[in-house]
């Protein structure tokens, strides 16, 4: 059942804490269930429509409801629960959209004029994943502040002025990409640098190899100890993007790892990748269990693409073995990592991005002004298209014109994603340096490329999954 019914709870209360997001305001409704447990529901309203507690506007709304022998808390509860409530209408028991706080629930079906026949609820659904990431990041930050403060210091947002202040002309800027769980290679790259250097890790630290979570934890640790380590800036890759999305889906549908694997194999079976008997014997029962939770075909495609095709099965077990605090640290860190950023080094402008520069002019202008592109400042209406270009774009599919757009703005693009076995690719005419040397493919000659921005030299490091060992 994807909603709370009237007979499921004894009481509920609305928190006084309002969480302000970029598009919505959120509050918590806490239900005391009859089985002795509690259930917290996140409810979203249009930004600016929730009156702050104890303010004049809040008192006016309370007085309006009291005139009809009711109160604000009762009305909100009535709108959420039961067969006719918003939870059942929206098919979930968390992340509920309520529209304008003052207007009531019918407001969610108000049409929006964007060239399509859609409602405000449709727009909320379109941006649900991004909203979930924002909430996760805020809740992790709040949890960190309630603890001993260590995590708060770990996640200092990147500033374009930080590297110049740190280096002071003594160190150099380096970049690596697509480490893909090869901790031994990553560790060797770190050892070749000094605390005065700055390292850009341009996405895809996880998957394929088995040590991706260890790499992320090590990056977080080193960012909290800058005195003894190089400055590290981490950017999202398509593998981290898919990882975050699948975690959000797992949380939303309450899926186990076994169910995720079964869903991925379901799509693999449909594509002819596994025989019918094997699927029935090993995965059928779990796939049916997951399907009953409401997972649709689009969600299954995400699990297939990340868990099976892109090697997420090497990452998810290690993540699930962590305690909640450690898991939250990783989610918060990734959710606050940029998709693209710019940096001026020795008078030259560089654009760091996992795959390809963005094609929209406003994002290039954002980078021109020295700002990063992240989940907070990217336009939610074009998020999927922008993320696809920056995190998954390939020259073979969309050409090289976005490199040209960045070059016309004065940038040389430093990127990864598209591997070339054992070497990097420089193309001054098109304005890019692609440094993915296929690190996880050591048996084919793949290497980790440690590229120095200042002198353009590359150190090639053998593919090593664990420290001090061969692949």
Alpha carbon distance 237, 179 (integer Å): 11
pLDDT of residue 107: 59
Alpha carbon distance 392, 386 (integer Å): 10
pLDDT of residue 148: 41
Question: 79: which residues sit within 8 A by CB, 6+ positions away?
Answer: 85, 86, 98, 104, 105
Alpha carbon distance 409, 357 (integer Å): 11
pLDDT of residue 73: 60
450, 174 Cβ separation under 8 angstroms: yes
Is the torsion defined by CA of 163, 166, 171, 174 positive or negative? negative
Q: How far apart are the first and last CA of the chain?
A: 47
Strand partners, 9: 33
Alpha carbon distance 262, 266 (integer Å): 6
Provide the percentage of residues in the chain whose pLDDT is more than 90.
43
pLDDT of residue 407: 95
Alpha carbon distance 418, 412 (integer Å): 17
Residues 35-86: tens digit of each pLDDT: 888 888 999 988 877 765 545 555 555 554 444 344 556 667 778 888 888 9
pLDDT of residue 165: 39
Strands 38-46 and 24-33, by their bridges, are: antiparallel
Identify the segments of the chain with pLDDT beneath 70.
Answer: 1, 51-75, 101-117, 140-169, 379-381, 468-471
253, 295 Cβ separation under 8 angstroms: yes
Strand partners, 113: 117
Strands 173-176 and 96-99, by their bridges, are: unpaired
Alpha carbon distance 92, 84 (integer Å): 13
Alpha carbon distance 53, 27 (integer Å): 11
pLDDT of residue 3: 83
Residue with tokens 């160190």: 171
Token readout for 254 is 């309450």
Alpha carbon distance 299, 305 (integer Å): 10
Alpha carbon distance 141, 332 (integer Å): 7
Alpha carbon distance 158, 182 (integer Å): 25
Token readout for 161 is 């002025």
Report which of 130, 182, 255 is spatially closest to residue 447, judged by C-alpha positions: 182
Measured CA angle at 322 (ends 266, 149), to 5 deg? 135
pLDDT of residue 181: 96
pLDDT of residue 109: 62
Instruction: Kindly list the distances between the CA atom of residue 199 and the CA atoms of 129, 332, 345, 360, 455, in Å, as whole numbers in the listed order.
Output: 30, 20, 13, 27, 15
Residues 93-109: tens digit of each pLDDT: 899 998 876 655 555 66
pLDDT of residue 470: 52
Token readout for 10 is 């004894």
pLDDT of residue 65: 44
435, 415 Cβ separation under 8 angstroms: yes
pTM: 0.72
For the purposes of burial, counting CB atoms within 10 Å of the CB of 365, is it exposed (0-12), middle (13-18) or buried (19 or more)?
Answer: exposed
Residues 1-45: tens digit of each pLDDT: 578 888 898 888 888 778 888 788 888 888 999 988 888 899 998
Residue ranges of alpha helices (H) inside 113-157 are 120-126, 128-146, 150-154
């Amino acid at each position: 059942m994807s909603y709370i019914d009237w007979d499921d709870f004894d009481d509920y209360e609305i928190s006084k804490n309002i969480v302000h997001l970029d598009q919505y305001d959120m509050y918590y409704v806490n239900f005391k269930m009859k089985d002795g447990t509690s259930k917290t529901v996140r409810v979203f309203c249009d930004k600016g429509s929730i009156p702050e507690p104890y303010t004049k506007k809040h008192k006016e709304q309370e007085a309006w409801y009291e005139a009809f022998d009711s109160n604000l808390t009762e009305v909100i509860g009535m709108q959420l629960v039961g067969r006719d409530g918003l939870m059942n209408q929206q098919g979930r028991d968390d992340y509920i959209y309520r529209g304008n706080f003052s207007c009531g629930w019918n407001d969610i079906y108000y049409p929006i004029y964007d060239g399509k026949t859609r409602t405000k609820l449709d727009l909320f659904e379109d941006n649900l994943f991004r909203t979930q990431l924002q909430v996760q990041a805020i809740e992790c930050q709040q949890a960190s502040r309630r603890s001993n403060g260590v995590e708060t210091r770990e996640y200092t947002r990147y500033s374009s002025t930080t590297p110049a202040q740190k280096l002071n002309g003594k160190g150099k800027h380096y970049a690596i990409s697509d480490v893909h769980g090869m901790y031994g290679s990553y560790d060797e790259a770190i050892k070749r640098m000094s605390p005065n250097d700055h390292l850009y890790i341009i996405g895809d630290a996880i998957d394929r190899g088995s040590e991706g979570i260890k790499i992320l934890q090590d990056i977080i640790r080193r960012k909290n100890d800058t005195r003894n380590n190089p400055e590290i800036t981490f950017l999202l890759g398509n593998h981290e993007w898919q990882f975050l999305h699948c975690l959000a889906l797992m949380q939303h549908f309450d899926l186990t790892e076994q169910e995720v694997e079964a869903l991925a194999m379901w799509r693999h079976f449909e594509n002819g990748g596994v025989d019918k008997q094997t699927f029935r014997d090993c995965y059928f029962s779990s796939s049916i269990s997951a399907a009953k939770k409401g997972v649709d075909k689009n969600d299954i495609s995400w699990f297939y693409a990340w868990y099976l095709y892109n090697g997420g099965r090497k990452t998810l077990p290690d993540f699930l073995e962590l305690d909640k605090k450690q898991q939250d640290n990783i989610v918060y860190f990734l959710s606050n990592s940029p998709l693209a950023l710019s940096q001026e080094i020795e008078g030259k402008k560089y654009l760091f991005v996992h795959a390809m520069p963005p094609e929209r002019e406003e994002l290039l202008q954002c980078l021109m002004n020295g700002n990063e592109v992240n989940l907070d400042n990217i336009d939610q209406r074009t998020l999927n298209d922008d993320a696809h270009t920056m995190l998954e774009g390939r020259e073979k599919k969309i050409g090289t014109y976005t490199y040209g757009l960045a070059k016309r703005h004065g940038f040389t693009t430093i990127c990864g994603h598209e591997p070339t076995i054992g070497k990097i690719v420089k193309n001054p005419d098109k304005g890019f340096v692609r440094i993915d040397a296929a690190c996880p493919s050591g048996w084919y000659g793949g290497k980790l490329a440690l590229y120095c921005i200042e002198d353009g030299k590359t150190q090639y490091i053998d593919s090593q999954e664990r420290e001090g060992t061969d692949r």
